[in-house]
């Protein structure tokens, strides 16, 4: 397996996804889909089973408007050269959010590393197929993106995931790349967003600075992550503990698919004397979870749950990929990966 080596010895392999949401929706109506975490996000989703189910829901409903797909650079061009930086995401069919989050991360990496051709790979084929069927735009899946690199004679392959943490999807990603590693001289995989303690501290600063205008003592600021049954779900509690330790007593972190749940978050909020609640996804993209599970009108959405308790609720529909400080962190992880090649 030639030199998947350089990567694994130098960089901890980790993963998961973040995403996000807002009260003035950038994508009009909720889409029956999920893309976590991304990221993520980012992106999109952590467990394969949950991601597949959510993506299937996305493909089932076309009664929504997600923006102009033609504005998004799918980055599946040939003529790559010897050095490629492959940005791997779960993906989303919300066109505007995809461009403003995943696309923005890719643009930032391209600017930071002009000696590398930046290309895109999505891991959710059902989302790829949905975008292709609906908009006539084909995004490479992971196999297609790796085959493209091989066919173009890439020698040095750097893979930077937009995942949030170490999890099942990231493990699958590293396994797939290992299958192709003999085709390249060198292969290295960058770390996900939340890997080191410094990563947690910087993400904390990014999201608290981003929401500081709402931090008035009467508002609870609640972040919605995806959640997973895997051990990596502990990142959400770690982020909560860090926020509490650093004096952000009115900041709360919960998940859609695991714990802490919206009921757990609501119970904590009710312990304070808050009049208002800000909801924002802790994911790379603002897709189905942001638009539907968080900001939707269904009675079990986070917005509806808090409104039923008498709170004034505002949803921020924006993905973490829209935050410049978050993009800088992805750049640093890619830089560490590139440095390890030498």
* Of residues 222, 213, 215, 220, the one with CA closest to residue 240: 222
Counting the structural domains of the chain, the total is: 2
> Which H helix or E strand runs over 312?
strand 312-315
Asked if residue 209 lies in contact with residue 215, where contact means CB atoms within 8 angstroms, the answer is no
Residues of the chain with pLDDT under 70: 1-64
At 205-224, the pLDDT tens digits run 999 999 999 999 999 999 99
Predicted pLDDT of residue 64: 65
- Whether 114 and 228 map to the same domain: the answer is no
Q: Are residues 9 and 35 in the same domain?
A: yes
Q: Are residues 130 and 9 in the same domain?
A: yes
Give the integer Cα–Cα distance in Å for 289 and 101: 15
User: To which H or E segment does residue 206 belong?
Assistant: helix 197-210
Let me know whether 100 and 241 are in one domain: no
Please give the pLDDT value at position 70.
94
- Are 58 and 135 within one domain? yes
Is the distance from CB of 339 to CB of 113 less than 8 angstroms?
no
Average pLDDT along the chain = 86
Count CB-CB contacts under 10 A for residue 76. Answer: 15
57 shares a domain with 37: yes
pLDDT score of 167:
79
**124 and 36 both lie in a single domain:** yes
Distance CA 187, CA 156 (A): 6
pTM of the model: 0.83
Of the candidates 130, 163, 226, 333, the residue annotated as catalytic is 226
* 226 part of the active site: yes
Nearest Cα to Cα of residue 122 among 154, 157, 149, 98? 98
Contacts of 3 (CB under 8 A, 6+ apart): 181, 184, 185, 186, 187
| 272: CATH | 3.40.50.1400
Say whether both 328 and 311 belong to one domain: no
Q: Quick: pLDDT tens for 249-266.
A: 999 999 999 999 999 999
Same domain assignment for residues 103 and 203: no
Pair 188, 289 in one domain? no
- Write the CA distances from 23 to 100, 249, 280, 324, integer angstroms: 17, 23, 9, 20
Structural domain that includes position 258 = 197-320
Assess whether 62 and 114 both reside in one domain: yes
Q: Are residues 259 and 329 in the same domain?
A: no
């Amino acid at each position: 397996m030639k030199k998947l080596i350089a990567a694994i010895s130098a960089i901890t392999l980790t993963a998961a996804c973040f995403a996000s949401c807002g009260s003035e929706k950038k994508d009009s109506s909720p889409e029956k889909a999920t893309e976590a975490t991304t990221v993520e996000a980012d992106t999109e989703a952590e467990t394969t089973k949950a991601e597949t189910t959510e993506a299937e829901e996305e493909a089932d409903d076309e009664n929504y408007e997600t923006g102009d797909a033609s504005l998004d650079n799918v980055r599946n061009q040939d003529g790559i050269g010897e050095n490629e930086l492959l940005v791997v995401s779960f993906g989303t069919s919300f066109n505007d959010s995809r461009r403003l989050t995943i696309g923005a991360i890719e643009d930032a990496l391209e600017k930071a590393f002009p000696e590398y051709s930046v290309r895109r790979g999505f891991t959710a084929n059902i989302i790829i197929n949905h975008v292709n069927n609906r908009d006539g735009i084909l995004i490479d899946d992971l196999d297609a993106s790796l085959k493209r690199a091989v066919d173009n004679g890439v020698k040095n392959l750097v893979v930077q995931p937009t995942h949030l943490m170490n999890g099942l999807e990231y493990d699958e990603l590293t396994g797939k790349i290992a299958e192709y590693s003999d085709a390249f001289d060198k292969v290295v995989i960058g770390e996900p967003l939340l890997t080191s303690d410094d990563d947690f501290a910087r993400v904390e600063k990014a999201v608290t600075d981003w929401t500081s205008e709402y931090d008035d003592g009467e508002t609870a600021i609640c972040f919605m992550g995806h959640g997973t049954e895997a051990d990596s779900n502990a990142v959400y509690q770690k982020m909560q503990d860090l926020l509490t330790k650093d004096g952000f007593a009115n900041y709360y972190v919960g998940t859609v698919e695991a714990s802490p749940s919206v009921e757990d978050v609501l119970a904590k909020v009710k312990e304070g004397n808050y009049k208002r609640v800000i909801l924002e996804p802790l994911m790379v993209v603002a897709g189905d979870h942001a638009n539907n599970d968080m900001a939707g009108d269904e009675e079990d959405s986070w917005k509806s749950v808090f409104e039923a308790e008498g709170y004034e609720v505002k949803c921020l529909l924006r993905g973490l990929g829209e935050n410049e400080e978050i993009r800088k962190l992805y750049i640093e992880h890619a830089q560490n990966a590139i440095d390890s090649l030498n």
